[in-house]
A = this chain, B = another copy of it.
Amino acid sequence: MKHGGDLLSYENYYEGELIDFSSNINPLGMPKGLEKVLIDNLTELEAYPDIKYRKLKKSVGKYLGCEEDLVLVGNGAVDLIDSFTKMAKRVLVTTPSFSEYEERALAHGKDVEKMPYKDDFTIDLESIADIVKKDDLLILGNPNNPTGLRIDEKTLIKIYQIVKSKQANLVLDEAFFEFAPIDYDSINIFKEYNYENIGIIRAATKFFALPGLRLGYGCTSRVLKEKVETFQMPWSVNCFADLAGRYIFDQKDYIKKSKQYIEKERNYLLEKLDEIEVIRPYQTHTNYILIKLLNLDEEYVFNFLLKRGIIVRKCSNFKALDSNHIRVAIKDRKNNMKLVKELINLDQGRNINEE
């Protein structure tokens, strides 16, 4: 499984409904009221979306707290990341991180340089200073997938200054930003720099639980925005994503409740997983947890859980992770309890077929 959420490939392996811990989206589901907005506007299907996405960009600008003239929108975050890689001379990715950074760069025939995280999954500033060169693009997940860690503010500013001083560009993939108890806002931090040499990219996919919608958005400098938009296809954002974007960012109660919910479940799940001897959960700032398997292989654990109706994300196809890691999403209490229960069964050495 290269990406999470590929349930269809596994539906014959379990009788009953699979619980998908491989896809890390907000367990509260999409914002209330969105369905009505879409239903009331289904005839928008019959018109082209505004090719300039004027209303959508206004909405995003207000939500992010940046000028709407600096807003980017795309067919998921990956559409925007794709355009940034296209303009780079070389693309630098940390490992492990979301595989699409490298894939998009390779699709455009770019050289890719990989920079491992330190053992604790924090960033090695020195290696960044050594490696980054003019016209490079450095892509960082903030928080990073699958590790779950965000970059602390001081480090982030240092990284930016290194990248900028080398006339390279930095992309922060903040698809999981709202889940994280981050004590800074990157949009705000880089405002004083007019977002020169930086693109900050977020998405409706994870936090607003809308992976089917395909809405990515972000903020960058005037210069970079013009380049990105040259690379993007016309009408890359469909009419529902356009409509939804003009609604969801105003849902303050939903946003607040979601953050509180994830924090509570994250604490619960981390505490419970910590008690299980055969696994070691990593610290996380997001809505998923990277888990180290002690003397167990991802394939065995995957199949063990699949037999019990649970899909988790195997991690060996993340560069720099071997086959003893899995990633699990943080879901609602009932499902989280189910995951804990089955991992306890695993811990107690139950046979793979034993109920």
Contacts and interface: CB of A to CB of B under 8 A. Distances in A.
Interface string A293-314: 0000000000000000000000
A210 B43 CA distance: 9
A29 to B, nearest CB: 6
A23 B34 CA distance: 28
Interface residues of A, number: 54
Contacts of A47: 5, 7, 20, 23, 211-212
B3 A45 contact: no
A54 interface: yes
Given A5-B47, A47-B5, A240-B240, A211 B235 contact: yes
A44 interface: yes
A38 B82 CA distance: 29
A24 B210 CA distance: 31
B8 A82 contact: no
A69 interface: no
A186 interface: no
Interface string A312-345: 0000000000000000000000000000000000
Given A42-B39, A51-B3, A51-B6, A100 B234 contact: yes
B50 A107 contact: no
Interface in A35-53: 35, 38-39, 42, 44-52
B239 A213 contact: yes
Contacts of A213: 45, 238-239
A174 interface: no
Interface stretch (A73-81, A161-169, A217-225, A262-270): A73-81
Nearest to A210: B45
A236 B214 CA distance: 8
A42 B243 CA distance: 14
A63 interface: no
Contacts of A233: 75-76, 78-79, 82, 100, 104
A238 B241 contact: yes
**Most interface-central of A42, A45, A47, A76 (chain B CB within 10 A):** A45
Contacts of A46: 25, 29-30, 209-212
B38 A42 contact: yes
Contacts of A353: none
A49 B212 contact: yes
Interface in A63-102: 75-76, 78-79, 82, 86, 100
A239 B240 CA distance: 10
A230 interface: yes
B214 A238 contact: yes
A6 B235 CA distance: 11
Interface of A: 2-8, 20, 23, 25, 29-30, 34-35, 38-39, 42, 44-52, 54, 75-76, 78-79, 82, 86, 100, 104, 107-108, 209-214, 230-231, 233-236, 238-242
Given A5-B47, A34-B45, 10 more contacts: A3-B234, A23-B48, A30-B45, A45-B212, A78-B234, A78-B235, A86-B108, A212-B238, A214-B235, A238-B240
6 contacts: A25-B46, A29-B46, A30-B46, A75-B233, A100-B233, A238-B241
The 5 A-B residue pairs with the shortest CB-CB distance, nearest first, are A212-B239, A5-B48, A45-B212, A48-B211, A214-B238
